[in-house]
Chains A and B, each alone.
Chain A
Amino acid sequence: MASSSKTEQKKMLILKSSEEEEFEIEESIAVQSGTIKNMVEDDFTLIPLPNVDTETLIKIIKYMKKHGEKTKSNEKDIEEFDKEFVKKSFTELKELVLAANYLHITSLIDLLCQAFADRIKNKSVKAIREIFGIPNDFTPEEEAEVYEQHKWAHEEGKEHIDHSAY
C-alpha cells in the first residue's frame, strides 16, 4: 500500500443477522455483495440482514474474506477453499444459495449452483423432490406420459442413477 501523510483508517461495517447477532467487517470486503454495496452508497454502516441467520452469515463472511484477498498468486489456494466450502449438506447449501442470492454475491451464487448441479446430475426424480422439497403435482397419468417420452433418460447408462437425497 502506498503510504500517505495520514494513515488511512479501513472503513468498517456491521452486519446484523436475523438473530440480531452483529459482525464487524471491512467495507472493502463486504461490497462483494451487491446488496450491501447499495446500502453503503446510501450511507448505512449498520446493515441489518433479516433474511440471513447467524450460522449462514458466518459462512458468507468467511467466503467474502477469502475472496477479498484474491491476488494472482493465491488462485490455487482459493480454488482449494472453494472446493472445501461446498462440501456441505444440501440443507446448508440451500441456506447459503438463498442468502447469496439475496446478497447478490455473483461468484458465490455460481459456485453454489455449480456444486448443486454436480451433485444432483445423476440423481433420480424422487431424490430431487426430496432434496428441494418439491411436491409432485402431476396426476399418475400425466407423470407416466412424461416418463415415457424420455424413457431413455431414466435408464441406467454409463452413469449410475442415484436415489439418495444426500
Chain B
Amino acid sequence: MERRSCKLYVCEEIITNILNRLPSKSLARFKCISKDWRKYIAEIYRCRLQWPKPYQLGFFCVEKRLKSRFFFSSKESSLVIGTSLDESISFIGERVYVVASSDGFLLCNKLKSRQRIYYVYNPATRQRLDVPKTQILMDDPYVGFTVKETDGSVSFTIVRYGVHQPYFHDLHYSVTIESFSSETNIWTATLDAPIRFYPSRDETSSSSACAVDEVFCWLCNEAHWVTVYDSVKKCFWTLGLPDQMWFSRGSGCLGLSGGELCFASNSGTTISCWRLNNFPSRDAVWVWKYNIDVATVVQKCREDFGLGGGNALGFKVRNMVFHLALPDILYLQIRSKVISYNVKTSTAELVHEFGEAWRKTVHYKLFSYEWPQWPPLQ
C-alpha cells in the first residue's frame, strides 16, 4: 500500500479543536494563513461572544500592600488573554498595590506616597494614566473606582474618604470626601459631608466600593450596614443589611453580579446570599436568593483539601467574591484555596491554590478582573 504523502490534510474538526486552545494573539495572527482558517477563527470568536459579559477573567490578589499577583478563574479565561496580561503589574514601572478594579482597569496606589498618588492602569494593554496628586491627606481611606466606556473612549471616577477623623456634631458625623473625574482631571473635595453612622472597618474587610452608575457602596463589616455615596447628588446615605442575626457572628461581602448588588453573609457554617432590587433608589429591598452549606462545598472538593472521609468542621471561609456576570457562582477562599461554587448545578471547582500556609492568606484581598472587550469580529 502506498504511504500517504507528508502533507497530510487535517480536517476542519481537528483544526477547530486545536485553534480553540489558543490565546487571542495567536488566533489573530493565524487569520492570515488561509481563507479557511480565517473562517474557522471567525466561528471561534462567534462562539466566544456568547460567553457572559462582563467576562470574568480572574482575580488580582493583594496581600496588605505588597506585590500583586493574578490567577485565572477558569481554563477558558486564560485562552482569551494568553500571556499578554501583566500579572505582576511590574510594567507600570512604579511600586504599587491594587486598591480597586473596574471594567478591565486597575486603580493602584503608589507605595510610600501616603496614599496620595494613584494610577489607573490597564494590565492587558499596559497603558498607565497618572492621576494628579490628591488634595487631601487621608489615612487608609475608603476608595471607589468606576470606569465607563462610551463609543470607544473611556472615562473614570474615583472617590475617597477618610474614616479616622470624623467628628460628631448635631447628631451626625462628618467626613471629608474627595472625588476625581477623568473628564475634569482635578480632585474636588467636599468638606464636612454628613454621614449618619460612623463607618468602621476591620483589617480583613475591603476598603473598595461596588459602584452602580456613579453610586458607590461600602460594606461596614463591624457594623451592619452599607454606606452609600451618590457622587452625582453628593450625599451619603445608609442601607441596612438583611441578615443581622447571623452576620454578627461571621463575616459578609458585598459585590456586583450581573450588574446588581449582591450580599453574602457567612455565619461560619452557612452562607446566605441576597440580591438588591431597585437600587440605587432608596426603597431598594434585599431579596433572599440562596443558601450555601460550607461543609457541602468542602466535601465536593475533599480531595483538593486532602480530606479522607473526614468532616469539614473548622473550614473557615476567609473571603467571598461574587462572579461578575453570573449570579449563581460564588468564589470562596477557604484555607489557602479559592473554590468556585455554582449554586444552580451544585458543583464546586478548585480555581486556585495559593500554595502557602493558610495563616498567611488571611489578609489577602481579591479584586475581580474582567475582560470587557472582545477582539473585533471580521
Contact = CB atoms under 8 A, between A and B. Distances in A.
A38 interface: no
Contacts of B84: 157-158
Nearest to A151: B28
Interface in B23-39: 23, 25-26, 28-38
B35 A128 contact: no
B166 to A, nearest CB: 47
A19 B6 CA distance: 17
B237 to A, nearest CB: 46
Interface in B1-18: 1, 3-4, 6-11, 13-15, 17-18
A150 B10 contact: no
Contact of A146 (B19, B23, B38, B83): B38
Interface in A95-129: 95, 97-98, 101, 109-110, 113-114, 116-117, 120-122, 124-125, 128-129
Contact of B18 (A53, A95, A113): A113
A134 B18 CA distance: 15
Q: Please report whether the interface of chain A is mostly helix, strand, loop or mixed according to DSSP.
A: helix
Band of interface residues on A:
35 or more
Nearest to B38: A146
A18 B25 contact: no
11 contacts: A53-B1, A53-B4, A98-B8, A125-B29, A129-B34, A134-B33, A135-B34, A146-B31, A152-B28, A157-B84, A161-B29
Interface string A124-166: 1100110011111110000100110110111001110100000
Contact of A138 (B17, B22, B35, B82): B35
B13 A101 contact: yes
B33 A133 contact: no
Interface string A81-94: 00000000001001
B29 A150 contact: yes
A132 B1 contact: no
